[in-house]
Amino acid sequence: MSSAQHRKHDPHVHHRVGQLVEPNSDGYVVRRFPTDHVHIYGDDPKNLEIPGSSGPSNLVHVRCHAAPATAAAGGPKGPPCHTDSLVVAVHGNCPPQNSPDQPPTRSAVGVHVGVGNIANRACRVPDAADRGHVMLDADGSDPRGRPQHTQQRADLYAAIAGLMEAARIAKQGILSSPAHRRAAAANPFKLHHVVVKSDSAYLVEGVAGGPRGEAPHMKKWLANGWRSARGEKVKNEDLWDNLMLTMMSLGQLGVAVEFWRVARTANREAERLAGLALEQDVNFFDEKGIFGREEHKDDREETKKQQQQRRRRQQQQQQQQQQQPESAGDELVAVE
């Protein structure tokens, strides 16, 4: 790294860094984090993600490589980070059926961008018959006849959901960070670097290569026209193609995308959201609000107040109904 690049990084304060990594706008350029940064992070990097404290706009950023890795992570007093970076944790959940002969019937994804952030996502993967927005294969064929709920598809959906949320943040600008919340709110700045954190080897090795520098599977598939080395059609081609296009759209915004494979124990936030999503009806292509939202504490308190108010209204309506003559019973509006 040149001395000019060294001067850009202050090991004592959070700071912007600009385009440290090449965006994915032209061709297929995806790196594996932090494997492809051994020259700056070392062979055993620690504390790579620096979360803010908490709140509806809190984000997780990448630690500056000029900062000491031994410092305690977390909050404004933690190691300095690149404030124009974003770590997006994603997880797919596809529980099996009780019988091994029966295919899974549901799956969901979780997307975590920060503790308590209202942009955290928990959403169901749609059933094939309910897919109002069909991702066609590259050759134009319709994939709805194939199994929809698999662990691999859930992992791919999770990555796409995470990148779609990153694109939204990139378009509106970063409004809050550990170091400059008030200044950023008045003058949001661009997002330049996104790291997708996942515990799925299928996803990370497919899009960014293996841990020892092996070439990404997707790069070979693209060269073969979405065919495997055996000449067979690539499984989940519709989602791989959509993932690539989503990365390239971020690249056109000047945002570089990297993928980071972590142990499942290091991805608990996204895993928890994916588990919550299995119990709700918000699906990936819900037109009213593309994804479900994780409620933070303030939202929960507001929801409790609304529920209490609704119960009081119901009680009042029931009392009014009891006072009405029986002949008017059919004309009363049902209480929700």
Closest CA to 272 of 297, 294, 239: 294
Q: CA–CA separation, 303 vs 291, rounded Å?
A: 19
Q: CA–CA separation, 10 vs 38, rounded Å?
A: 19
**Which pLDDT value is given to residue 253?**
85
**Which pLDDT value is given to residue 91?**
97
Domain segments of the chain: what residues?
Answer: 3-294, 302-331
According to the CATH classification, is domain 3-294 in 3.10.150.10? no
**Which pLDDT value is given to residue 116?**
84
With a cut of 70, which residues of the chain have pLDDT below it? 1-29, 35-47, 49, 52-57, 65-81, 128-147, 173-189, 283-336
3-state secondary structure 97-112: CCCCCCCCCCCEEEEE
**Which pLDDT value is given to residue 153?**
93
H/E element holding 60?
strand 60-63
**Which pLDDT value is given to residue 12?**
47
**Which pLDDT value is given to residue 318?**
63
**Which pLDDT value is given to residue 62?**
77
**Which pLDDT value is given to residue 177?**
42
> pTM score, two decimals?
0.71
Tens-digit pLDDT profile for residues 184-206:
444 455 788 899 999 999 999 99
**Which pLDDT value is given to residue 248?**
87
**Which pLDDT value is given to residue 289?**
36
Q: Which residues are within 8 A (CB) of 180 and not within 5 positions of it... i.e. 6 or more apart?
A: 14, 83
> If you write DSSP's letter for every residue of 256-293 in order, what string do you get?
EEEEEE--GGG-HHHHHHHHHHTTS--BTT-TTSSS-B
